[in-house]
Amino acid sequence: MIPPTLTEVLSRASALPTLPEVASFIISTIEDDTSNADSLVALLNTDPAIVARILAAANSSVFGLSSRVDSMREAILVLGLEEIRSITLATAIVDRFNMKSACFDPRMLWRHSMGVATCARVIAEENQFNAEAAFTTGLLHDIGQLLLFAVAPKFFEEVLARRQRLDETIIEAERAVFGFDHAIAGGELIKNWRLPADIADGIYGHHDPESGDFGEMGDLIHVAEVLSHALDLGELPNNRVPDLSGLACARMGIEWPAFSAKFAEIEARYEEILNALSLQY
Amino acid sequence: MKTRSICLSPGRLQPGMTIAAAILTRQGDELLPANCVLDESLIERIRRRMIHCIVVNVPDDRDPATIAHEIETEEKRLTYIFRGDSREERAELLSAVRLFRRNQAQ
């Protein structure tokens, strides 16, 4: 059997569930400073599953408040709009893209994606970039893997087996099996979904930001991805830290001895978000 | 009693813990000073400020052999996950993570 081409994979992208409406809304308002809590609350309240998840998160031991939070409006007041948007987005996406097989456990992918999203947010905050856009891009950075798995599961399982057998990077194994990789598949998918261009750039560039002009988001997600592996967030059994672009670090102004002061915070925030989403081990 | 400093998320704070370093708000103002002993109301104040990392002193009853073993385990894991060739930047990241893990273990 011949693996599908990139065009064929994208033409079969309907094999992936569509983005939930609330996730699309959050992403589309990422750069909209005028978007307010009212419109988000109205939308959230149309989705009982998300309301339940947010309230459970707000009342969980992670936030550990002594008084009960029993409405979305109160949850926003207590947790802040930024946190609510992150939890909602992550919940909506993780729940929707919950495909699994004997060889592929999306929970591992999501734990890794949460790690990259957390690193991206902290790096963005340090650099006064848009932290929400960084978090969202980190969350979606490996969506191309889900697409490949949804469209061509047998070939994707071959990628995973090859990666394990030869200790290759996922990119090397995908290029060997498909002739292209999840970064390009994911970037194209995000473009097809008409999400903001910098999210697509971050996804295209996350493994090799020097191979094109992917803007600051390409550099940011690349550095976040490598840092997430280095801090072992997600603790993938066969974790291997990818190579790191010195150019991307320089463009981001990151010097590791200084930035290491943020490592403990990253680990604490990662633990928080995993607990809030019930993705912990 | 011997203590060590660790960073905890707000959900893991307990009354009676002592803050090792002053807690600052996102604006850089001091919320709580170092050596402040936490109670329920202070913990709730920290949680409501969405502060994500609080350095506290906790009792440390580990003996030197246990600490050495923890450092060795961390070092083995780091060597494994950083396997393969490295460009200079990746090697610098490894040094930073190694120092962080050693400080964490000690």
Whether B8 and B36 map to the same domain: the answer is yes
Whole-number percent of chain A with pLDDT over 90: 44
Give dist(CA A69, CA A85) in Å, integer.
17
Whether B32 and B7 map to the same domain: the answer is yes
pLDDT tens sequence across B6-63? 888 887 888 999 999 898 877 788 889 999 999 988 988 887 777 888 999 988 889 9
Whether B41 and B11 map to the same domain: the answer is yes
The predicted structure's pLDDT at residue B76:
95
Domain with CATH 1.10.3210.10 in chain A: 100-281
The predicted structure's pLDDT at residue A43:
75
Higher pLDDT, A46 or A188: A188
Q: For the domain with range A100-281, which CATH number is right: 3.40.1110.10, 1.10.3210.10, 1.10.10.10, 3.90.50.10? A: 1.10.3210.10
User: Which of A232, A257, A272 has its CB closest to that of B11?
Assistant: A272
- Chain B residue with Cα closest to A261: B100
Whether B9 and B45 map to the same domain: the answer is yes
The predicted structure's pLDDT at residue A62:
52
The predicted structure's pLDDT at residue B71:
93
**In the structure, what pLDDT confidence band is assigned to residue B77 with cuts at 50, 70 and 90?**
very high
The answer to whether A178 and A3 have CB atoms below 8 angstroms apart is: yes
ipTM of predicted assembly, 2 dp? 0.86
Q: What is the domain count for chain B?
A: 2
The predicted structure's pLDDT at residue A100:
73
Whether B42 and B71 map to the same domain: the answer is no
The answer to whether A10 and A185 have CB atoms below 8 angstroms apart is: yes
Whether B54 and B10 map to the same domain: the answer is yes
Does residue A4 have a pLDDT over 70?
yes
- Residues of chain B with Cβ-Cβ distance to A268 below 8 Å are 7-9, 52-53
The domain spanning residue B37 has which CATH number? 3.90.105
For residue B35, give the nearest of B57, B68, B62, B59 by alpha carbon: B57
Does residue A18 have a pLDDT over 60?
yes
Whether B93 and B49 map to the same domain: the answer is no
Mean pLDDT of chain A: 85
Do residue B97 and residue A66 have CB atoms under 8 angstroms apart? no
pLDDT tens sequence across A157-173? 999 999 989 988 899 99
Q: Dihedral through CA A13, CA A14, CA A20, CA A23, nearest 10? A: 20
Higher pLDDT, A60 or A143: A143
Which domain, by its residues, includes B41? 3-59
The residue among B41, B59, B77 that closes a domain is B59
